[in-house]
Amino acid sequence: MWRWAWRTPQAWGWAQPQESWRIPTVAMWVRTFVICESDAATAADKNSLHRFAEQVGFTDAGLRLMGWKVSAPVVDDEDEEAAAEPQQGEEDDPPQRRLRAVT
């Protein structure tokens, strides 16, 4: 869960110096999430999970409270053109083998 959390758009916000105080709360969210997946989870655990999720921006209400908005990445026209064009030598080079059979 920790790795997943740090791959979300919210992770960019937590990594900012002014928001780094949220990192322990992210850790508590991860721990509570794991507890809530177990059979031993109580109603209080599930309530805590929701509160932590709000504090780190994993709920709509949490995003609004922090003034954050998750949006699609912005790609300008130059980036799209560069991605569509083959790189120099790309067409002529055969694909490289990454796996080899071992006998």
Long-range (24+ apart) CB contacts under 8 A made by 76-81 are none
pLDDT, tens digit (0-9, with 9 covering 90-100), for 6-64 = 999 999 999 999 999 999 999 999 999 999 999 999 999 999 999 999 999 999 999 99
Q: Which string of DSSP letters, residue by residue, matches 31-61?
A: HHHHHHHSTT--HHHHHHHHHHHHHHT-SHH
For 61, the token pair is 């209400």
Q: Compute the distance between CA of residue 5 and CA of residue 27 in angstroms, rounded to an integer.
A: 9
Q: Where are the domains of the chain?
A: 20-71
What predicted TM-score, i.e. pTM, was given to this entire model? 0.67
CB atoms within 10 A of CB 29: 24
